[in-house]
Amino acid sequence: MVRIVFGSELGVDPTDVEARTLGEALDEFGDLEDDELRVFVDGVDAQRLEGDLTPVGDEDTILVTRW
């Protein structure tokens, strides 16, 4: 399971989801389609990788925070 952790300013509880890509993981939260969000996968800025296509592994942690 991929662990998604949200910055406290987003007011969303951490959760575990099954996903193969960042896009699949974030699809669980449709209301987070926001240009002001910044997403890190295991500490790496996902916007600098392949965005929604960034592969995620079972042990990855996704951090979602505001810019």
Distance CA 67, CA 18 (A): 26
More confident residue, 9 or 23: 23
More confident residue, 40 or 28: 40
CA dist list (Å): 62 to 12, 47, 66: 13, 12, 13
Number of domains the chain contains: 1
pTM above 0.85, yes or no: no
Q: What is the CATH number of the domain that holds 6?
A: 3.10.20.30
In this structure, are residues 4 and 15 in contact, taking their beta carbons and an 8 Å threshold?
A: yes
Q: Which domain, by its residues, includes 40?
A: 2-66
Please check the confidence at residue 57 and state whether its pLDDT lies above 70.
Answer: yes
Please check the confidence at residue 7 and state whether its pLDDT lies above 70.
Answer: yes
**Considering the chain, what is the average pLDDT of its residues?**
82
User: How would residue 16 be classed by pLDDT, with cut points 50, 70 and 90?
Assistant: very high
